[in-house]
Chains A and B, each alone.
Chain A
Amino acid sequence: MRKVGALKWAAGRWDSFGLPFLVALLLLVFSLLSSPFRSVYNLVSNLSFASLVAIGSIGMVFCIMSGDFDISIGSMSALAGVLGASMVARIGGPAAMLVTVALATLCGFVNGVFVTKLRIPAFITTLGMQFVYRALAYIYTTNTPVYIKDPFWLSIGSGSVLGIPFPVVLMVLCFGAAVYVLRKTPFGRYVIAVGTNRNAAMLSGINVDLVKNAVFTLVGFFVGIATVVTASYLGSVNPGMTGQGYEFQVITVVVLGGTALSGGNGNLLGAFFAALFITYMQNGLGLKQVNSYWQYVATGMVLIFAVGINRLKSAILGQRET
């Protein structure tokens, strides 16, 4: 019995302490293995890189929590990015950045309308939109990258506040706001209710379609912010390359972070630590000169492994998980 008790104790604390522990372990192992890895510069700059996935994952936590997926976010990022970046010359950097975020938010809203009005599983609807957005990005730019020369936009990725890189500050702010919305506002409760039992939520007077639509809009909003930061790092937006595989990274991070695929149960801080884990893992493997193709294999396996861990946890705690 004591053994079962210990397992239950560990499983119950996995969400809060399991991932930070894994991240610490990973940092320790790679620090011992590789001297460039343990330099402060490398650790800090990868913390900034982690924000690209982490910020995008916030909306997806809400989305998966409400019981749906959005797999169009990579293309959404490319479309909003090329349109926003091409407007720098006309309306200036800051306004163009706002346009980028607004366009991504609009794409998210459009996804929400399709998902709620069609009542087709969201992953299929958003799979279709993935190709529509990507094709529009190609057509708008005739497949040429859009370069960003605006100093303000470029400073987003490289700037810092009190020695902390700006992307990290932005990431912390976004997570703070999201945690507040999830825990302290009626909207957060509605999302949980819709994800746990859609019919019960509807019968108790929640406007399910409105909540779902808001969730998809949120996905777009956070993808927009992540796009602005990514574009600032790269100095350009490429209609074909930008956001390629982004949906996969983000879903991996969200699931590894402990958000249940069955809905109703989200873990924002888990997604944050999972983003750190994935980013440092790729950084470490890269520094150890592991062929970059292995990283596809590693990331894919981490996702299946993450689902496995969540199932194991639920089984030990006696919860239902599908």
Chain B
Amino acid sequence: MIRFLKLYEKFGIFIFIFAGAVFLAFATPNFLKLDTILNIIAQGSYAAVVGYGMTLAVTSGGFDLSVESVMALTSVFLAILIPVIGIPLAIVASLLVAAFVGMLNGLIISKLKVNPLITTLSMMTIIKGVALLCAGGKMIVILQKQFMSIGTGKLLGIPIPIYIMVVFFGIFYLVLYRSSFGRHVAAVGSNENAVRISGVNVDVVKIGVYVLVALTSGVASVVRTSQALIGMPSMSPGFVLVALTVTILGGTSLTGGRGNLWGTLLAAVFISMIYYGLNLINVQIFYQMLSVGLVLMLALFIEGLRLRYLKAAKAKGIKV
């Protein structure tokens, strides 16, 4: 059982993807076409990008509920700034705003020692208010059509969001597995006190984590805003659930210390497959919400099982 669960942690998401692909291949006529597959992957890109950030946060033993508000704020800032300072500068400035919110989260969590749930829950509400105030409660239409190419353009036949997803995967792979910062993040997640005693500046690590989560939310928001060409102060409600679901479904342990970035990427694609399948059978949009909730509960169920078996194995003295 333990061997199975260890394998599941690494490869479980492949089973989901494979089962989903087989089902869609038989159930729908268009699934096995390159365009469809690329589309599904591109649709999963936002969840994947925010999922990378969330994976980092969960690995550090925390998490971030404020992602959807940060996305909304970034979107509003983009819409306000693009006519004033041009597209490239507006993107940079909005990402800086997102990073600033992340820094606030990190400062409150590390310096004031408020728990991440309360901090990011409060920040979610505060930033939602700020986004609505900045936009005057309305959606802001972006007239610069060139901006659309980020979200809808193609390069060598592949949608640009897929490139963004892959590039950020590379960046986060290096950050999480190949840098001292990444090792510190994992160490903080498994035993914060030990890390503190061994001389690592835990506060800086935590602030870095929340800045990165906010940045990924900002990037996802740039892509989404460019597809819609609208600055939305109430963007994607419930997106935090998707981000957490792909992280946990991907095999990142909730107890902290171990992140699975591959799993997050694949889980995002899997969620996108579910959406595609549900769209095809023409059900109401609420079933998407239900399905993501149920998939999260399933992922939690397996995670609970895993933790229980690991504990039992430890009690028996089996090496895990």
- Residues of A in contact with B (beta carbons under 8 Å apart): 69, 71, 114, 117-121, 123-125, 127-132, 134-136, 138-139, 142-143, 245, 248, 251, 255, 261, 291, 293-301, 303-304, 307-308, 311, 322
Chain A minimum-CB-distance residue to B283: A139
Cβ contact within 8 Å between B129 and A297: yes
Residues 226-247 of B, flagged 1 when their CB comes within 8 A of A and 0 if not, give 0000000000001011001100
Residues 285-320 of B, flagged 1 when their CB comes within 8 A of A and 0 if not, give 011011011101100110110011000000000000
- Residues of B in contact with A (beta carbons under 8 Å apart): 108, 112-115, 117-119, 121-126, 128-130, 132-133, 137, 238, 240-241, 244-245, 248, 254, 284, 286-287, 289-290, 292-294, 296-297, 300-301, 303-304, 307-308
Cβ contact within 8 Å between A138 and B284: yes
List 20 A–B pairs whose Cβ atoms lie within 8 Å, in order of A's numbering. A114-B297, A117-B304, A124-B300, A125-B297, A128-B297, A129-B293, A130-B293, A131-B292, A132-B293, A135-B286, A135-B287, A135-B289, A139-B290, A293-B137, A297-B130, A298-B129, A300-B125, A303-B121, A304-B114, A304-B118
Which one of B117, B119, B297, B304 contacts A132 once the chains associate, using CB atoms below 8 Å?
B297
Inside 8 A of A71's CB, which chain B residues have their CB? 121
**What CA separation (Å) do A71 and B308 show in the bound complex?**
24
Inside 8 A of B254's CB, which chain A residues have their CB? 120-121, 124
Give the top 4 A-B pairs by smallest Cβ distance, nearest first.
A296-B129, A300-B126, A135-B290, A118-B304
Inside 8 A of B119's CB, which chain A residues have their CB? 304
Inside 8 A of B115's CB, which chain A residues have their CB? 261, 322
**What CA separation (Å) do A255 and B117 show in the bound complex?**
13
Take A118-B300, A121-B254, A322-B113 as given contacts and tell me if A300 and B289 are in contact as well, using a CB distance cutoff of 8 Å.
no
Cβ contact within 8 Å between A131 and B241: yes
Inside 8 A of B284's CB, which chain A residues have their CB? 138-139, 142-143
**What CA separation (Å) do A88 and B141 show in the bound complex?**
44
**What CA separation (Å) do A121 and B255 show in the bound complex?**
9
Which one of A117, A123, A297 contacts B117 once the chains associate, using CB atoms below 8 Å?
A123
Cβ contact within 8 Å between A296 and B126: yes
**What CA separation (Å) do A295 and B130 show in the bound complex?**
10
Cβ contact within 8 Å between B300 and A125: yes
Inside 8 A of A127's CB, which chain B residues have their CB? 240-241, 244, 296
**Shortest beta-carbon distance from A171 to chain B in Å:** 24
**Shortest beta-carbon distance from B43 to chain A in Å:** 19
**What CA separation (Å) do A125 and B241 show in the bound complex?**
11
Inside 8 A of A136's CB, which chain B residues have their CB? 290
Cβ contact within 8 Å between A293 and B133: yes
